[in-house]
Structure 1
Amino acid sequence: MRSKLLTVAIAAGLGVTSLSAMAATKQQPARVTVDAATLQQLQAQLAALQAQVADLQAKQEAQADAQIETAKTVNDVQVAAAKPTDELAKKLDALNKLVDNTKIGGTMFFDVTNQDHTEKGVTGPSTKKDGHGSTNGTGFDVKRFYLTVDHKFDDTWSANLTTDFSYQSSLSSTSLFVKKAYVQGKFDPLFTVRFGAADMPWIPFVEKWYGYRYVENTITDRSFEGGRSGGTATAGGVGAFGNSSDWGIHALGATTGDNSVNYQLSVVNGRGYRNLSRSKSVDTEGRFGYSPIEQMVVAVGGYSGKRGNDVEAGADTRTATRGDALIAWRDKTWGAGVEYFHTENWDDILKYIGGTAGPGAANNTKKDKADGYSLWADWKFVDQWAVFARYDNVDYKYTNLSDIQEKIKDKYYNAGVSYDVLKNLKLALVYKHNKLDGPSIAPYGYKTNEVGVWGMLSF
């Protein structure tokens, strides 16, 4: 660039000098002699022109350098904006892994129903009144709201936290518990270990085959009110015959398809997920199931332990036991099943000492046992619509201090039609009936009819 400009300037200077000489030649055909002053003037003009050319070249070079620096700066900014720093990239990568490996979900059981409850004592007619777990009238209830957080650390280890919230408008009460909180190691499809509060082997397993948990608990998890009241039985009635979740160590596994097996063995505290307590011994519950075809299961299970009552300085205890059996079928159209259980000393774990009631023992009772069965079926007659029905029967017997056996009989049934509004929203119009008859020595009876809409929302 510099050489070209200099050439142009010299050529221009020489051109001016040549033109002047030619003009002089035309005007004066005779030879002209340039004096020293004129030559000096021309040299000065040429030097000035060269200085101007050099200054112009310097300015252009400075401008070109500035443009190069500007382009470099713009490029650096663009690269910095497009590519985060290593620290920021690490933070973004950690955040992505947290989001990708964490799942948040929830399940809500709700209903809007009208309930009619009557009670009959030893004498007199049946009277409509509130009590024993039933409240007359119409109300909206949120029976359960489970909020679940699952996090996967790697292909083997994960963790789960599930909270359990419930609200009942008729009782104006709310409760919040941690239902599940465990760390899981999955080493093989047939060997997974959970440490903490987790699903027990029997009740959640039956719920999956039953399919209508949002309408009613399964038979071992359903309390029937009335009858017994005392230290180890639910005041005003008999409680459930099992826990759906408990604190302990749980080992489980399963295969899939036809000729598949499943199992679970849990060693737990025995008081359920709502009571994280200690005792001198632990309880065990197990289940083994076999599916000759994928749509069918045959399963047996059992429970043995003190249910958390074997404490220091406490009364002597018995061992509570429960045996379970299930045969069920479920495909895209049909579902059916029968469940059976037998318990002994489920409520009367604490013994009487020397014929006198020990601390916390049930009133006037030596031991108890119960047998129950549940039958259910459902049919999806068109897409999204199904009809269903269920029948439960429980015989609860307990022996008083005079070795006389008394009996409470509970019968329950429901029937309804369900509609899958969305994949994660189910509604069911249901009628329920529950009848309890007390012992013949001091007979009493409770009867409850309930009709309304039950629903389940999950996400």
Structure 2
Amino acid sequence: MRSTLLAVAIATGLGVTSFSALAATPKATKPPARVTVDAATLEQMQAQLAALQAKVAELETKQDAQADAQVETAQAVNNVQVAAAKPVEDLAKRFDKIDKLVNNTKIGGTMFFDFTNVDHKEFASTGAGRKVDGHGATNGTGYDVKRFYLTVDHQFDDIWSANLTTDFNYVSTISQTSLFVKKAYVQGKFDPLFTVRFGAADMPWIPFVEKWYGYRFLENTITDRSFEGGRAGSTANAGGVGAFGNSSDWGIHALGATTGDNSINYQLSVVNGRGFRNPSRSDSVDAEARFGYSPIEQMVIAVGGYTGKRGNDVQNGQPTRDASRGDFMVAWRDKTFGVGGEYFHAQNWDDILKYAGTGTAPLSVKDKADGYSLWADWKFLPQWAVFARYDSLNYKYTTPTNAERKLKDTYYNAGVSYDVFKNLKLALAYKHNKLDGPDATKYEYKTDEVGFWGLLTF
């Protein structure tokens, strides 16, 4: 650009000078006279050319200075813009991280609460029934929060996620609320038919039945109705009939399902055996499995089973045997009706340790149990439903002298429920539980409870 300007300026100067010189020369006649330039004219032209060159050099110097100033200004503006943009970019990155964390993390909760009156009476072999607090029942009227689950679920990518679910309940032995981990696992979902979980997670049977039953906030399912165990104490008279399974345990869990008609579902869990409250180890692990088939979407037929030593196979411990349980369920649930039935058979659920004939003789050396549960509910209005359930369980144990003792547990409930809104359900219900003790030392108790139960989710 600069050389072009110089060339144009010189050419212009020369042209003007030549034009002036020619204009001063008279017109020639043919043949034209030869034009000559004297020394003074040439000197004048050279002076004009030198002046033009000086002007061009001056212009170039000014143009270079202006261009340098423009470059410096542009660089300064760019530096200011970059400096101003960096905090904005950093803030945007931070907001992006927070946005991803929020969008990929779900926090929820579930609360079971009630306001009821309990009437619990115990009957010995002689004498009339008397009100006694015990066996999971406390006489009187009061408000309870039986369960409160707080859940945090985070999705790392399309495959991997993690779940943490805490729980609390009231522990009467220490007269205070106990907080513990119900579920804590890492999950990899590789296919609808293959998901694997590492840690404390739902077991195959109890949570599956709860889903089809629908009224877990009112009562546990039959295999999970008490954590006390079959006899729940050092003597049969001090016990009741209770849990024959865990809803969650520590281990490895594989599961999968299809959807719609003619769908299947399954789960296999290899676990420690003592439940989510006790992640201790033993020399062997337990296994529980379930397989379900839905000929139509509203119906399921499921079978399951459990085998293992329930965490009792420890070094330098007493010889053990395997505890076992078999399960069966058939259920139907649509928008209006729910109906189902569950059956189980268990052996040596309490008597895993073998008696070697030395030391103090235990109450029992073998046990077995059979139980079934039937339930139904009907939504007669969009927010209103009636429901009922009946359980029967027979528990037998054998003493060291080979005498057989029997316990029979009967339970039922009935009531009406109301969906206050999507996340809140209330139920007005009545519950009755009766246990008949062994014939040798006649014993029984019965519990009647009436009031309101509630389920809150968020």
Whether TM exceeds 0.5 here: the answer is yes
Verify: 1:409 aligned to 2:412, yes or no.
Answer: no
The verdict on how the C-alpha distance between 1:458 and 1:162 changes in structure 2, with shifts beyond 3 A counting, is same
User: How far apart in 2 are the matches of 1:165 and 1:177?
Assistant: 6
Aligned 1:232-311 pairs, distance under 5 A: 236-311=239-314
**Percent of pairs with identical residues:** 75
The verdict on how the C-alpha distance between 1:170 and 1:304 changes in structure 2, with shifts beyond 3 A counting, is closer
Equivalent residue in structure 1 for 2:330, among 312, 323, 327: 327
Q: Residue 151 of structure 2: SS of its match in structure 1?
A: strand
The structural deviation recorded for 1:404 is 1.1
User: How far apart in 2 are the matches of 1:402 and 1:303?
Assistant: 29
Instruction: Kindly indicate whether the alpha-carbon contact (under 8 Å) linking 1:139 and 1:169 is maintained by their aligned counterparts in 2.
Output: no
The structural deviation recorded for 1:92 is 2.0
The structural deviation recorded for 1:134 is 1.2
More moved, 325-334 vs 349-358: 349-358
Q: Which residue in the other structure is 1:104 paired with?
A: 107
The structural deviation recorded for 1:247 is 0.1
The structural deviation recorded for 1:230 is 4.1
The verdict on how the C-alpha distance between 1:109 and 1:163 changes in structure 2, with shifts beyond 3 A counting, is same
Q: Residue 237 of structure 1: SS of its match in structure 2?
A: coil
Instruction: Kindly indicate whether the alpha-carbon contact (under 8 Å) linking 2:230 and 2:350 is maintained by their aligned counterparts in 1.
Output: no
Q: Residue 220 of structure 2: SS of its match in structure 1?
A: coil
The structural deviation recorded for 1:133 is 1.7
User: How far apart in 2 are the matches of 1:232 and 1:319?
Assistant: 22
The structural deviation recorded for 1:365 is 1.0
User: How far apart in 1 are the matches of 2:309 and 2:172?
Assistant: 35
Instruction: Kindly indicate whether the alpha-carbon contact (under 8 Å) linking 1:224 and 1:237 is maintained by their aligned counterparts in 2.
Output: no
Q: Residue 93 of structure 2: SS of its match in structure 1?
A: helix
Q: Which residue in the other structure is 1:385 paired with?
A: 384
User: How far apart in 2 are the matches of 1:76 and 1:337?
Assistant: 72
Q: Which residue in the other structure is 1:456 paired with?
A: 455
Q: Give per-residue Cα distances to partners, 1:118-167, cap 9 Å, x unaligned.
A: 11101011112222221110011100000000000000000000001123
Aligned partner letter, 1:194 = R
More moved, 220-229 vs 382-391: 220-229
Q: Which residue in the other structure is 1:368 paired with?
A: 367
Verify: 1:342 aligned to 2:341, yes or no.
Answer: no
Instruction: Kindly indicate whether the alpha-carbon contact (under 8 Å) linking 1:142 and 1:168 is maintained by their aligned counterparts in 2.
Output: no
Instruction: Kindly indicate whether the alpha-carbon contact (under 8 Å) linking 2:237 and 2:443 is maintained by their aligned counterparts in 1.
Output: no
More moved, 312-321 vs 94-103: 94-103
Instruction: Kindly indicate whether the alpha-carbon contact (under 8 Å) linking 1:355 and 1:401 is maintained by their aligned counterparts in 2.
Output: no
Equivalent residue in structure 2 for 1:209, among 208, 212, 217: 212
The verdict on how the C-alpha distance between 1:197 and 1:234 changes in structure 2, with shifts beyond 3 A counting, is farther
Aligned partner letter, 1:278 = R
User: How far apart in 2 are the matches of 1:227 and 1:249?
Assistant: 27
Unaligned runs of 5+ in 1: 1-64
Aligned partner letter, 1:315 = Q
User: How far apart in 2 are the matches of 1:174 and 1:305?
Assistant: 31
Q: Which residue in the other structure is 2:14 paired with?
A: none
More moved, 152-161 vs 72-81: 72-81
Q: Which residue in the other structure is 1:177 paired with?
A: 180
User: How far apart in 2 are the matches of 1:300 and 1:202?
Assistant: 9
CA RMSD of aligned residues (A): 2.8
Instruction: Kindly indicate whether the alpha-carbon contact (under 8 Å) linking 2:120 and 2:137 is maintained by their aligned counterparts in 1.
Output: yes
Instruction: Kindly indicate whether the alpha-carbon contact (under 8 Å) linking 1:224 and 1:238 is maintained by their aligned counterparts in 2.
Output: no
The verdict on how the C-alpha distance between 1:296 and 1:455 changes in structure 2, with shifts beyond 3 A counting, is same
User: How far apart in 1 are the matches of 2:170 and 2:265?
Assistant: 35
User: How far apart in 1 are the matches of 2:175 and 2:449?
Assistant: 19
Q: Residue 205 of structure 1: SS of its match in structure 2?
A: helix
Q: Residue 354 of structure 2: SS of its match in structure 1?
A: coil
Aligned 1:158-177 pairs, distance under 5 A: 158-167=161-170, 172-177=175-180
Aligned partner letter, 2:447 = T
Aligned partner letter, 1:184 = Q
The structural deviation recorded for 1:173 is 2.6
Q: How many pairs are equivalent?
A: 389
Aligned 1:35-184 pairs, distance under 5 A: 80=84, 85-167=88-170, 172-184=175-187
User: How far apart in 2 are the matches of 1:169 and 1:352?
Assistant: 31
Q: Give per-residue Cα distances to partners, 1:178-226, cap 9 Å, x unaligned.
A: 0000000000000000000000000000000000000000000002979
Q: Residue 312 of structure 1: SS of its match in structure 2?
A: coil
Q: Give per-residue Cα distances to partners, 1:5-43, cap 9 Å, x unaligned.
A: xxxxxxxxxxxxxxxxxxxxxxxxxxxxxxxxxxxxxxx
The structural deviation recorded for 1:373 is 0.1
Q: Residue 94 of structure 1: SS of its match in structure 2?
A: helix
Q: Which residue in the other structure is 2:438 paired with?
A: 439
Q: Under a length normalisation based on structure 2, what TM-score does the superposition of the two structures give?
A: 0.80
User: How far apart in 1 are the matches of 2:400 and 2:148?
Assistant: 43
The structural deviation recorded for 1:235 is 6.5
Q: Give per-residue Cα distances to partners, 1:277-312, cap 9 Å, x unaligned.
A: 000000000000000000000000000000000000
The structural deviation recorded for 1:79 is 10
Instruction: Kindly indicate whether the alpha-carbon contact (under 8 Å) linking 2:240 and 2:435 is maintained by their aligned counterparts in 1.
Output: no
Q: Give per-residue Cα distances to partners, 1:410-438, cap 9 Å, x unaligned.
A: 00000010000010001000100001000
Q: Under a length normalisation based on structure 1, what TM-score does the superposition of the two structures give?
A: 0.80
The structural deviation recorded for 1:236 is 3.2
The structural deviation recorded for 1:87 is 3.0
